[in-house]
Structures are given as structure tokens and as C-alpha cells.
Amino acid sequence: MDGTDIVVSAALTIITAATPLVFAALGELVVEKSGVLNLGVEGMMVVGAIMAFATGVTTENAFLAILVGALSGALVGGLFGFLVLVLLSNQVATGLALTIFGIGLSALVGHGFVGVTFAGVPSLYIPLLTDIPIIGTILFGQDLMVYMSVAFAIGIGWFLKSTRAGLILRAVGENHDAAHAIGYPVIRVRFMAVLFGGAMAGLGGAYLSLVYTPLWVENMTAGRGWIALALVVFAAWRPGRAFFGAYLFGGITIIQLHVQGVGWAIPSQLLSMLPYLVTIIVLVVISRDSGKQRLSAPASLGKIFYAAS
Amino acid sequence: MIRIEARPEAAANMVYAAPVIAVTLTMIAGIVLFMIMGQSPGVALYTFFVEPVSTFDGVTELLVKATPLTLIGVGLSVGFRANVWNIGAEGQLTIGALAGGAVALYFYEMEGFYILPLMVLASIAGGMAWAAIPAFLRSKFNANEILTSLMLTYVGLLVLSYLIHGPMKDPDGQGFPESRLFSDSALFPVLIEDYRLHMGWLFALAAVAAVWVLFSRHVIGFQIRVIGMAPRAAAFAGFEEKKLVWLSFMIAGAASGVAGLSEVAGPLGQIVPSISPGYGFTAIIVAFLGRLHPLGILMAALLMALSYLGGENAQISLNMPNAVTGVFQGMLLFFLLGSDVLIKYRLRFGR
């Protein structure tokens, strides 16, 4: 393998590893911006993964599979939304419940799909452009979902910063009582944010089972939903930084693969610990300055909203 | 149209009614689930919830399964009351099992009354050490303990995988990733001859009693309750939050460590690649279902243990995937959290 091949393969690995995190982290970012803390990202991802995979294998239609992944993520997200927004349950506990439920449900549905493979999601091919050495494949030869993730990162940044709806969403997340007093529908805004977050987590899961592996393995998200949650904190609730953070984490997987490729005698388990350890270190570094974190976090995050009148 | 209206005072009876409502709703949802899966609901429910405990053997097995759930459940309840969210009990269980198991393997083929106490101490130390990391990171650097404790669970499982494929592997085991079988001196004695129910159950009962005393009789238990219900009042009263964070994690770590040991020195008798079928996570449900009260947790642990037994039984006799257990547990927690709305609010029908 010569130099350019290594660069291309490294870049491709980073992109594939980062894309599911981009989806999940961006979705959760919007949810948290609306003031809701959904710890069930892992559960929504894994449900999205199996539903997309099952659809893909059954219908052999990649687009339908992606769509079903997003919808099923939104559906279980809606379950969470109903509990915390309508029945006013504790957000931390309900998020945990969503993860436990999602892992169980996906294992049940996925029972018949173990050992099956999926053909994959078609990649973009533009004559000439895709054929450019190195950057051709990296920029113009990715699958549809990678471009979607980039579009979402830009779109969400624009939505939150420059649209009226984004402003309302942020207002609800900063001070739900004030937002309610002005007449904004707090619950409805939050419910839509939660559904969107669920759909995004579902897309992240769909990417894992349709592109990354492409297989169904029980519990295959392996903590990525939780890493996405950490990424939101790392990103200080800014979409651009969340995107960057996801690619940083994608980069860690490169180290993992290359050390194994070079043939160093480091047990694979120790290398597999890297993403989790890095998440912890990142959290520590970010959280050390508690005052700063309080400034960037949405002020109503995790608080229960009950309209007395 | 149904509206939710705040009660002037929290309804105490609903605190206890909610779990009953939740279990009932889970049963109803279970019937629907079984019908979707093409099973006769009556047969499935019987296989799941009655048949496993219809024999004395089944009852002892129920207690075997309830042992780790009770231990971890009461351990976690301390922190949950103080709003300390340790969800990494699975990792603390794993490291505790490894530490206790390491002692067992070190004294391989030796006899001695001192081996078991050393194993118990080692498992407590192991679980506490693993729990100390998120406690330290939270109290020193303000790092979110939910995320750190969960990340450490994945790391802990990888430590297990590394050790069992390397240093702890049975040298005569033909390459299987399993440790040597523990010697008799390193196994928890069984409570009844010919059954698997072992000493760990007594530890679980002791933990229930200890935490009950802590909450009802000790000032620290009082402080924990206050900090959970009214953090600002607790701050004004001068309760040290960091101390309670540490205490919560240490209690949960110790309990989870012993729970791990009670698996490897109990029914397993050796260290295997998968020590627990997610007891550390199920114990979270147990703690909530038991209303964070030690006696409630004991009952909830029995119910959850039944769901494990039922899942296994349904797999064997009805050929249903074992994952049904996870769905049941998740649904139960959902319904419970939903029913809890009735404690502080009431439902009003009509306009």
C-alpha cells in the first residue's frame, strides 16, 4: 500500500466512524437546546439500527431502510417525549428506561436477522470528480448518508442561529416559564425536538447497521449513543463543534486500527478501551470549569415544565 | 380529553400504588406482545411467570437470581436518593468479580477458612475502586457521573475480556476463554444441600437491613434524603455534597463488587467471559420499582429475578428469544415512570 492509499483509507475510516456520531450528537443537541435531556440516545440508535437493517434486508431498498431507521428512532423517541412531557416523569430515569427498552426490543426484532448481510448504501459517483486522486473519493465518493450528515450539521447550525423557529426553540430551552408566558407552546416545541432527536439517533443507528458493519449484531451501538451525549457537552451545545468532535472521535478509531496494523503487541481489548477513556478525559477537561459550562448549557435543561394555568 | 392537574400534596398511597399499576399494565402489554409473536397469551404468561417458581428448586433459583439484583439495587438506591446517578454498577460488578476471583485463583487448590473472607474483601475493594473513579471525577472536576460511570462499564467489560483471554485463562483449558474452576474453599457455601442457593443471599439480606438502618436511624441517611429532595436546603444546612457523592458511590461499588463475587463464587464457580446478564442495569429498574426503599427493593428484585427465569423458561419450552426479558423489563420501567405522575398530579377527565 503506498502513501496515497493510506491517506485515503485513513480518511474513509474516520468518516465512517464519525458519521453515526454526527447524526446522534446533532439530534441530541437540538433536544437539549429545547431544554430536554434525553439519555436514551443509545436505545433510539439501536432501534434505528435494527429497523433499518430489517427493512433493508427484506426490501433491498436502501432509501426505504434509511427512512424506516429514522422513523423508528422518532417513534421510540416519541414514547420518551410522551412520558417526560405529558406525564412529567423524571428525564434521567426515563432516558435510562428508553435505553434498556431499546436494547431489549432491538434484540427481540433482530433475533431473525443475525448472520444476514446487507448489500450496502450506494455511493456517489460523479465522473471526473470522483476520479481525482485522493480527494476525489473522499469528497465525491461517499454514500448518501455521509452527505446527509454534513447537510444536517450546516442546516441545524443555520436553523438555531438564524431562523425564528430556532429562536423559539432556544427560548423554550433557556426559560420555559418565560417562553410559556409569551405564548410559545413549550410542550409542542419540545415534543417536536424530541421526535427530531429520535429520528437523528435512528439515522445514526441505521448508518451503523447499513454501512458501517453492515450486519446486525445484538447491542451493536456499543455505547456510541452515550459518546454522542458526551459530545454534546464537549461541543458546548454548538452544532459545528459537535460535528468536529465526532470527527475527532472517528480519528481515534484510526489509531486503534493502525496500531493493530503495525503489529504492536498491545492486546486488542486495551485499544478498544480508547474511545471510552477519551470520552472520560474529554468530559473531565470540559467540565473542570463549572461556571463556563453553566453559561453554555441551556438554562432549563432537564427541568420539568408544568403550566399551572 | 384528559388533563393533568397538580395535587395540593403528594399522594402517599400512590407511591405504593404506582408499582402495582405498572406491573398490571406490563402484564397487559405482555399479553399483546405474546399475541404478536404468535403465542397463546395464557400459556406464555404461565410459562413466564408461574412455571419457573412452581417447584422448590425454582424458588431457590429465584433467590439465586435475586441475590445480585438485591445487592446492587439497595446499593444504588442510596445514590439515587441523593440525586447521584451511578449507572455503572455493571462495571463495578465486573471488577469486583475479577478482584475476588483473582484471590480465588491465587489460592488455587489450597484450603483455608481465610480464603473466602479475603475474596469478599477483595471484591469489595475492586467494586469500590471502580466506583471511586466517577466519584473522584465528579467531586473534583464536576464531570457528569452518568457518562463517566457508564463509560467505565465498557472499560470494565474489556478488562474482563482481556484477562479471561490472557492471564486468567485456564492453562489446561484447551484455549477456552474461561478460568480454572474455583476450589471448594473459594466457593460460597450453599444454604440448602443439593441446591444452588448460596451464602450470597445472606449478604443481600444483610445489605437490605444495613441500608434500612442507614435511612431510618442514621443522620447520614437523613442528609441523603434532604439533599435529594431539597438540594438548596441541604447546602444551607451545611451538608457536604461531595462527601455524600463519595458515600453513594462507595456503597454502590461495594455492593456491586460483592454481587459480582456472588456470581463467580456462586452459580458460575469460575470466571467466564460474560459474568452477568446485565444485572447492573436491571438493578436500576429494581431500585426505582422498589421505591428506593430497601424492603421494596427486595420485592422488586424477586420480581425481576422472575423475569430472568421466565425468559429462560420461555426460551426452552416455547422457543421464544431470550430478549423478551429485556423488553419486559424496559416496559415495566416505562409504565412505572408513567404511573408515577399520579403521585404529584391527578388525572381529570372531561373539560
Q: Which residue of B has its CA nearest to A275?
A: B151
Count of the separate structural domains present in chain A: 1
Q: What range does the domain containing A168 cover?
A: 3-296
Q: What is the pLDDT of residue A279?
A: 86
Q: Bigger pLDDT: A267 or B105?
A: B105
The tens digit of pLDDT for each residue in B281-325 reads 999 989 988 889 999 999 999 999 999 999 889 888 888 888 888
Which of B33, B141, B169 should be substituted to probe chain A, the one whose Cβ sees the most A Cβ atoms within 10 Å?
B141
Hey, what amino acid is at A178? A
Cβ–Cβ of A101/B334 closer than 8 Å?
Answer: yes
Q: Distance (Å, rounded) from C-alpha A17 to C-alpha A21?
A: 8
- Residue A209, domain member (yes or no): yes
Cβ–Cβ of B143/A108 closer than 8 Å?
Answer: no
For residue A14 the three cell numbers come to: 474516520
For residue A151 the three cell numbers come to: 447537510
CATH number for the domain including A86? Answer: 1.10.3470
- Residue A121, domain member (yes or no): yes
Q: What is the CATH number of domain B40-319?
A: 1.10.3470
Q: Which of A89, A100, A284 sits opposite B329 (nearest CB)?
A: A100
Query: A-chain residues within 8 Å CB-CB of B144?
Result: 230, 233, 283, 287
Query: A-chain residues within 8 Å CB-CB of B288?
Result: 93
- Residue A305, domain member (yes or no): no
For residue A45 the three cell numbers come to: 440508535
The tens digit of pLDDT for each residue in B322-348 reads 888 888 888 988 898 888 888 878 877
The fraction of chain B above a pLDDT of 90, given in percent, is 48
Domains of chain B by residue range: 40-319
- Spatial neighbors of A140 by CB under 8 A, at least 6 apart, are A124, A125, A126, A129, A130, A132
The tens digit of pLDDT for each residue in B235-294 reads 777 777 888 899 999 999 999 999 999 999 999 999 999 999 889 999 998 998 888 999
- CA quadruple B206, B77, B148, A33: dihedral, nearest 10: 170
Q: What is the pLDDT along chain A (309 residues), one digit of tens a residue?
A: 566 777 777 888 888 899 999 999 999 999 999 999 999 999 999 999 999 999 999 998 889 999 999 999 999 999 999 999 988 888 888 998 899 899 999 998 988 888 888 777 777 777 777 777 777 777 777 888 899 999 999 999 999 999 999 999 999 988 888 888 888 899 999 999 999 999 999 999 999 999 888 888 888 888 899 999 989 988 889 999 999 999 988 888 777 777 766 766 778 888 888 888 988 998 888 888 776 777 778 888 877 777 765
Q: Which residue of A has its CA nearest to B149?
A: A280
- B226, B258, B217, B259: which is closest to B244 by C-alpha? B226
- Residue A307, domain member (yes or no): no
ipTM of the complex: 0.88
Rounded to an integer, the average pLDDT of B66-71 is 97
Classify the C-alpha dihedral A168-A174-A177-A181 as positive or negative: negative
